[in-house]
Amino acid sequence: MSTTEVKVLGSTGSPFVMRAVIALNIKSVDYELLEQNLVVKSELLLKSNPIYKKIPVLIHADKPICESLVIVQYIDEVWTCGPSILPSDPYDRAIARFWAAYLDDKWFPSVRVIVLTAEGDEVKKETLQQVATGLELLEDAFPKCNKDGNFFGGERIGYLDIALGCFLPCLRVIEKVHNLKLLDEAKTPNLCKWAESFCSDAAVKDVIPETDKLIEFAKVLIAKIKARPSN
Protein backbone atom coordinates (compact mmCIF):
# COMPACT_ATOMS: atom_id res chain seq x y z
CA MET A 1 0.00 0.00 0.00
CA SER A 2 1.65 3.27 -1.01
CA THR A 3 1.57 6.03 1.60
CA THR A 4 0.05 8.40 -0.93
CA GLU A 5 -3.10 6.33 -1.28
CA VAL A 6 -4.28 6.70 2.32
CA LYS A 7 -4.17 10.07 4.03
CA VAL A 8 -5.55 11.18 7.37
CA LEU A 9 -6.29 14.85 7.90
CA GLY A 10 -5.71 15.12 11.61
CA SER A 11 -4.05 16.72 14.57
CA THR A 12 -1.96 15.21 17.34
CA GLY A 13 -3.99 14.80 20.50
CA SER A 14 -7.45 14.67 18.93
CA PRO A 15 -9.29 11.64 20.32
CA PHE A 16 -11.34 11.34 17.14
CA VAL A 17 -8.24 11.27 14.93
CA MET A 18 -6.81 8.57 17.23
CA ARG A 19 -9.74 6.34 16.28
CA ALA A 20 -8.91 6.46 12.57
CA VAL A 21 -5.20 5.95 13.19
CA ILE A 22 -5.67 2.97 15.55
CA ALA A 23 -8.03 1.31 13.06
CA LEU A 24 -5.44 1.75 10.28
CA ASN A 25 -2.71 0.34 12.57
CA ILE A 26 -4.86 -2.72 13.37
CA LYS A 27 -5.17 -3.37 9.64
CA SER A 28 -1.44 -2.63 9.04
CA VAL A 29 -2.32 0.02 6.47
CA ASP A 30 0.37 2.62 5.75
CA TYR A 31 -0.94 6.16 5.76
CA GLU A 32 0.23 9.72 5.69
CA LEU A 33 -0.94 11.99 8.52
CA LEU A 34 -1.48 15.52 7.26
CA GLU A 35 -1.34 17.71 10.38
CA GLN A 36 -4.06 20.34 10.16
CA ASN A 37 -4.05 23.92 11.36
CA LEU A 38 -7.37 24.15 13.17
CA VAL A 39 -7.43 27.95 13.25
CA VAL A 40 -6.75 28.59 9.58
CA LYS A 41 -8.32 25.55 7.95
CA SER A 42 -6.71 24.14 4.82
CA GLU A 43 -8.40 24.12 1.44
CA LEU A 44 -8.10 20.34 1.50
CA LEU A 45 -9.98 20.07 4.81
CA LEU A 46 -12.72 22.49 3.70
CA LYS A 47 -13.12 20.63 0.41
CA SER A 48 -13.03 17.18 2.01
CA ASN A 49 -15.45 17.87 4.86
CA PRO A 50 -17.60 20.83 3.74
CA ILE A 51 -20.41 19.99 6.18
CA TYR A 52 -18.51 19.92 9.47
CA LYS A 53 -15.07 21.29 8.42
CA LYS A 54 -13.64 19.02 11.12
CA ILE A 55 -10.94 16.40 11.54
CA PRO A 56 -10.50 13.50 11.11
CA VAL A 57 -11.00 12.97 7.40
CA LEU A 58 -9.73 9.77 5.83
CA ILE A 59 -8.82 10.17 2.18
CA HIS A 60 -8.65 6.84 0.38
CA ALA A 61 -8.02 6.72 -3.35
CA ASP A 62 -8.85 10.44 -3.49
CA LYS A 63 -12.27 10.01 -1.87
CA PRO A 64 -12.92 11.63 1.54
CA ILE A 65 -14.66 9.82 4.42
CA CYS A 66 -15.69 11.91 7.44
CA GLU A 67 -16.81 11.24 11.03
CA SER A 68 -14.57 9.01 13.15
CA LEU A 69 -16.98 6.11 13.75
CA VAL A 70 -17.94 6.06 10.06
CA ILE A 71 -14.22 6.02 9.22
CA VAL A 72 -13.50 3.08 11.57
CA GLN A 73 -16.33 1.05 10.02
CA TYR A 74 -15.11 1.96 6.52
CA ILE A 75 -11.57 0.80 7.35
CA ASP A 76 -12.96 -2.48 8.71
CA GLU A 77 -15.02 -3.06 5.56
CA VAL A 78 -12.30 -2.13 3.04
CA TRP A 79 -9.27 -3.91 4.52
CA THR A 80 -11.01 -7.19 5.27
CA CYS A 81 -7.76 -9.18 5.24
CA GLY A 82 -6.64 -7.69 8.58
CA PRO A 83 -8.16 -8.55 11.98
CA SER A 84 -11.86 -7.66 12.24
CA ILE A 85 -12.70 -4.52 14.18
CA LEU A 86 -16.50 -4.96 14.45
CA PRO A 87 -17.62 -8.21 16.12
CA SER A 88 -18.77 -10.92 13.69
CA ASP A 89 -22.11 -11.61 15.43
CA PRO A 90 -24.89 -9.11 14.49
CA TYR A 91 -26.10 -8.79 18.08
CA ASP A 92 -22.58 -8.12 19.38
CA ARG A 93 -22.15 -5.57 16.58
CA ALA A 94 -25.39 -3.85 17.63
CA ILE A 95 -24.22 -3.69 21.25
CA ALA A 96 -20.83 -2.26 20.24
CA ARG A 97 -22.54 0.35 18.00
CA PHE A 98 -24.99 1.24 20.78
CA TRP A 99 -22.23 1.94 23.32
CA ALA A 100 -20.04 3.80 20.84
CA ALA A 101 -22.97 6.11 20.00
CA TYR A 102 -23.69 6.53 23.72
CA LEU A 103 -20.09 7.63 24.31
CA ASP A 104 -20.19 10.30 21.62
CA ASP A 105 -23.75 11.53 22.18
CA LYS A 106 -24.16 11.41 25.94
CA TRP A 107 -20.88 10.84 27.72
CA PHE A 108 -18.09 12.74 25.96
CA PRO A 109 -19.84 16.16 26.10
CA SER A 110 -19.43 16.04 29.92
CA VAL A 111 -15.80 14.89 29.64
CA ARG A 112 -15.14 17.78 27.26
CA VAL A 113 -16.62 20.33 29.67
CA ILE A 114 -14.25 19.18 32.43
CA VAL A 115 -11.18 19.04 30.13
CA LEU A 116 -11.95 22.67 29.23
CA THR A 117 -12.29 23.73 32.89
CA ALA A 118 -9.13 25.54 34.01
CA GLU A 119 -7.05 24.25 36.92
CA GLY A 120 -8.43 25.73 40.14
CA ASP A 121 -11.84 26.47 38.59
CA GLU A 122 -14.79 24.57 40.01
CA VAL A 123 -15.79 21.34 38.28
CA LYS A 124 -19.54 21.02 38.62
CA LYS A 125 -20.60 17.98 40.66
CA GLU A 126 -23.34 17.18 38.18
CA THR A 127 -20.94 17.05 35.22
CA LEU A 128 -18.50 14.89 37.16
CA GLN A 129 -21.35 12.58 38.12
CA GLN A 130 -22.31 12.19 34.45
CA VAL A 131 -18.76 11.11 33.62
CA ALA A 132 -18.66 8.69 36.57
CA THR A 133 -22.06 7.21 35.66
CA GLY A 134 -20.91 6.55 32.09
CA LEU A 135 -17.80 4.77 33.36
CA GLU A 136 -19.88 2.62 35.71
CA LEU A 137 -22.19 1.66 32.84
CA LEU A 138 -19.20 0.66 30.72
CA GLU A 139 -17.67 -1.21 33.67
CA ASP A 140 -20.89 -3.17 33.89
CA ALA A 141 -21.07 -3.71 30.10
CA PHE A 142 -17.51 -5.06 29.90
CA PRO A 143 -18.12 -8.66 31.02
CA LYS A 144 -21.31 -8.78 28.91
CA CYS A 145 -19.50 -7.70 25.73
CA ASN A 146 -16.43 -9.76 26.44
CA LYS A 147 -16.77 -13.43 27.22
CA ASP A 148 -13.00 -13.85 27.20
CA GLY A 149 -9.94 -11.73 26.56
CA ASN A 150 -8.74 -8.34 27.70
CA PHE A 151 -10.88 -6.17 25.42
CA PHE A 152 -14.51 -5.27 24.79
CA GLY A 153 -13.86 -6.91 21.42
CA GLY A 154 -12.61 -10.12 23.10
CA GLU A 155 -9.00 -11.15 22.55
CA ARG A 156 -8.27 -8.24 20.23
CA ILE A 157 -9.05 -4.55 20.20
CA GLY A 158 -12.43 -3.93 18.53
CA TYR A 159 -14.86 -1.14 17.71
CA LEU A 160 -15.91 -0.25 21.24
CA ASP A 161 -12.32 -0.45 22.52
CA ILE A 162 -11.34 2.14 19.91
CA ALA A 163 -14.41 4.29 20.61
CA LEU A 164 -13.76 4.44 24.39
CA GLY A 165 -9.97 4.10 24.37
CA CYS A 166 -9.42 7.30 22.42
CA PHE A 167 -10.87 9.20 25.41
CA LEU A 168 -8.39 7.73 27.92
CA PRO A 169 -5.93 10.63 27.42
CA CYS A 170 -8.75 13.09 28.25
CA LEU A 171 -9.50 11.17 31.46
CA ARG A 172 -5.82 11.33 32.41
CA VAL A 173 -5.80 15.08 31.84
CA ILE A 174 -8.83 15.49 34.11
CA GLU A 175 -7.29 13.28 36.80
CA LYS A 176 -4.02 15.21 36.79
CA VAL A 177 -5.34 18.78 36.45
CA HIS A 178 -8.22 18.45 38.91
CA ASN A 179 -6.59 15.90 41.21
CA LEU A 180 -9.48 13.45 40.77
CA LYS A 181 -9.70 9.71 40.37
CA LEU A 182 -11.99 8.59 37.53
CA LEU A 183 -10.76 5.09 36.75
CA ASP A 184 -10.56 3.45 40.12
CA GLU A 185 -9.49 -0.07 41.16
CA ALA A 186 -12.40 -0.30 43.60
CA LYS A 187 -15.21 1.06 41.44
CA THR A 188 -14.06 0.19 37.91
CA PRO A 189 -11.64 -2.75 38.18
CA ASN A 190 -12.55 -4.09 34.71
CA LEU A 191 -11.90 -0.73 33.07
CA CYS A 192 -8.60 -0.24 34.94
CA LYS A 193 -7.29 -3.55 33.62
CA TRP A 194 -8.75 -2.86 30.19
CA ALA A 195 -7.09 0.60 30.01
CA GLU A 196 -3.69 -0.96 30.74
CA SER A 197 -4.15 -3.59 28.01
CA PHE A 198 -5.43 -0.98 25.57
CA CYS A 199 -2.59 1.48 26.03
CA SER A 200 0.11 -1.18 25.71
CA ASP A 201 -1.35 -2.72 22.54
CA ALA A 202 0.87 -2.55 19.44
CA ALA A 203 -1.77 -0.64 17.43
CA VAL A 204 -2.20 1.95 20.17
CA LYS A 205 0.97 2.54 22.18
CA ASP A 206 2.64 4.99 19.79
CA VAL A 207 -0.61 6.87 19.22
CA ILE A 208 -1.48 7.83 22.81
CA PRO A 209 -0.36 11.43 23.40
CA GLU A 210 1.58 12.34 26.54
CA THR A 211 -0.69 13.69 29.26
CA ASP A 212 1.49 16.77 29.88
CA LYS A 213 1.43 17.74 26.20
CA LEU A 214 -2.35 17.42 26.18
CA ILE A 215 -2.60 19.55 29.32
CA GLU A 216 -0.64 22.30 27.54
CA PHE A 217 -2.95 21.95 24.54
CA ALA A 218 -6.04 22.19 26.77
CA LYS A 219 -4.60 25.33 28.43
CA VAL A 220 -4.33 27.03 25.04
CA LEU A 221 -7.94 26.12 24.25
CA ILE A 222 -9.18 27.33 27.65
CA ALA A 223 -7.36 30.65 27.20
CA LYS A 224 -8.97 31.06 23.76
CA ILE A 225 -12.43 30.35 25.16
CA LYS A 226 -11.91 32.81 28.05
CA ALA A 227 -10.69 35.48 25.61
CA ARG A 228 -13.91 35.28 23.56
CA PRO A 229 -16.31 38.16 24.10
CA SER A 230 -19.28 36.85 26.11
CA ASN A 231 -22.73 37.08 24.53
- What letter would DSSP give residue 152? T
x/- letters, 164..193, toward its own copies (CB under 8 A): ------------------------------
Please select the residue that binds its own copies; options are 54, 93, 176, 187, rule is CB under 8 A. Answer: 93
Q: Based on CB atoms, which residue is closest to its own copies, 103 or 173?
A: 103
| Of residues 97 and 156, the one with the C-beta less far from its own copies | 97
Beta bridge partners of 64: 59
CB atoms within 10 A of CB 2: 7
Among 37, 39, 43, 91, which residue sits at the site for its own copies (rule: CB under 8 A)?
91
Residue 164 CB, shortest distance to its own copies, in Å, is 15
Strand boundaries in the chain, DSSP class E: 6-10, 32-35, 57-60, 63-66
Q: Looking at 43, 63, 179, 227, which residue binds its own copies (CB under 8 A)?
A: 63
Select 69 or 171, whichever has its Cβ closest to its own copies. Answer: 69
Residue 146 CA to residue 33 CA, distance in Å, equals: 32
Regarding 51 and contact with its own copies (CB under 8 A), the answer is yes
| Residue from 33, 113, 137, 192 binding its own copies (CB under 8 A) | 137
Q: Residues 46-51: contacts with CB within 8 Å, 24+ apart? A: 48/9, 49/9
> Does residue 83 have a cis bond before it (omega within 30 degrees)?
no
